[in-house]
Amino acid sequence: MSNKIVLKRGLDIPVSGKAECRISKTVSPDVVAVCPADFKGFIPRLLVKEGDSVSCGSPVLADKKHPEILVASPVSGTVKEIVRGEKRKLLAVLVTPGEKQERLDFGVKSPESLDAGQIKAAILESGLWPFIIQRPYGILANPADTPKAVFVSAFDTAPLAASPEFTLGDRMADIQTGIDAMAKLTGGGVHIGLNAANYASTPFHKLENVVTHVFEGKHPAGNVGVQISHVCPVTKGSVIWTVSPLGLAAIGALFNTGTYNVRRKVAVCGPLAIEPAYADTLPGAPMSTLAGFIGNSEDARVVSGNILSGTTVGREGYLGFYDNTVTILKEGTEEELLGWMNPLRLKLFSNDMSYFSWLTPKKKYDMDTNLHGGPRAFVMSDRYYAKVLPMDIYPVYLLKACLAGDIDKMEQFGIYEVIPEDLAVCEFIDPSKNDIQQIIANGIRLMLKEME
């Protein structure tokens, strides 16, 4: 059963450098990092020390508030280093892979023969629970909760996003098992969002035991938060869980094979990427292993994730736990002669028809990180942002409530429905150059603090 939802608002950003659907490189990193900052709402407690031996699937971190939530090593080997920052903040656990990779055996299980408690216990024990994210707030789900529903977005409309059909087309059996497992954890079913543009050809439309919703529209139509807002909006006191297709594949592999497997195909793309394609790698792999894609350009910005909501990690950083895209952009450091007064600017894209990009709708642009201006006060009405935000909220009022720290107003204007990535397009078009995603993140942080 499926229903079609047409989203009339949004913006597809025409960036050059899309990855070609082929595996260009298989990465076997010399070191893998487990970074606590990847997991929102997670307060890490170390379970290992330098020199310890670990297997693939061995826990290395636990949550202080919920000790049953574990983060596991994606490889077997030796703990090389515990990296700390200011005030001894834990930044990363570095693991050196061994010559022979050993995986913990959690045992093959059939979700159909297990109850909700047994399924939760299996996912928690394996270290795969961090794939389950709670709405509101976009933090790790509380295992004690029973969600109103589980939502999965099977397509991504972000600029240069990896193709789910290419990256996971050969893992549909694992994804189906993951769906069967997650369906046991909720009474509201597993809801999956599909793209109307390729609904008939995607293997995701053949999945069973799901409630299918077909979405037609521009970015951020592929964001699971946008899909939830049109199907089952998050309200105060309600909880919805989300899982990515990548997470479903890992959970399904746990039940089908009894092992921890988070290896993935990653799209390495962007205007500065050399021959953009895919790499077969692990989360936590160093960006230096992708040097062939990055080249020697000194002004390249390396982002783990997409260009709108990814994290700048640099050449010395690591692939994020949830990411299947690495974007390489040019740092926009050049000053412009005449600036906004220049009427031509043929190499720049504008959503407002300020330049001539509207005459070439199919053109892709070598975008960089230049903001073309500095931060200033909000001067636009909600109508401006509403053109690209297909959600029933008032973004300017919500942002001002976050800036003021007014919890009542934040609740009134939709803080329960959004996470930073949902307003990333608003940040892209914002003439005031405000860090909108950070403002939302600060608002969520305040809400969580009030709950303590």
What does the pLDDT look like over 228-247, one tens digit per residue?
999 999 999 999 999 999 99
pLDDT value of residue 338: 64
Confidence of residue 358 (pLDDT cuts 50, 70, 90): low
| Phi, psi (deg, nearest 5) at residue 391 | -135, 150
pLDDT value of residue 340: 60
Confidence of residue 373 (pLDDT cuts 50, 70, 90): confident
User: Is 40's pLDDT higher than 50?
Assistant: yes
User: Is 31's pLDDT higher than 70?
Assistant: yes
Average pLDDT of the chain, as a whole number: 93
Bridge partners, residue 23, by sequence: 278
What count of residues does the chain have?
Answer: 452
Q: What CATH number belongs to 29-97?
A: 2.40.50.100
Name the one residue in this structure whose structure tokens are 């216990």.
121
Cα 230 from Cα 9, distance rounded (Å): 13
Name the one residue in this structure whose structure tokens are 């971190």.
61
The mean per-residue pLDDT over the stretch 337-348 comes to 67
In sequence order, which residues have a C-beta less than 8 Å from that of residue 335 and are 6 or more positions away? Answer: none
Confidence of residue 30 (pLDDT cuts 50, 70, 90): very high
Residue range(s) occupied by CATH 2.40.50.100 in the chain: 29-97
| Nearest-5° Cα angle at 342, 340 to 347 | 90
Q: What CATH number belongs to 2-12+110-257?
A: 3.40.50
* Number of Cβ within a 10 Å radius of residue 298: 6
What does the pLDDT look like over 107-152, one tens digit per residue?
999 999 999 999 999 999 999 999 999 999 999 999 999 999 999 9
| Phi, psi (deg, nearest 5) at residue 296 | -105, 10
pLDDT value of residue 1: 43
DSSP letter (8 states) at residue 390: -
Contact 346, 355 (CB under 8 A): yes
User: Is 371's pLDDT higher than 70?
Assistant: yes
pLDDT value of residue 84: 96
| Nearest-5° Cα angle at 446, 244 to 92 | 55
User: Is 22's pLDDT higher than 80?
Assistant: yes
The mean per-residue pLDDT over the stretch 156-166 comes to 97
Cα dist from 142 to 120, 130, 157, whole Å: 11, 10, 28
Q: Which residue in 70, 240, 71 sits closest to 150, CA to CA?
A: 240
Token pair, residue 131, equals 């794939």
Residue range(s) occupied by CATH 3.40.50 in the chain: 2-12+110-257
| Phi, psi (deg, nearest 5) at residue 18 | -70, 140
Cα 358 from Cα 153, distance rounded (Å): 30
Q: Which uninterrupted H or E stretch holds 395?
A: helix 395-404
pLDDT value of residue 349: 84
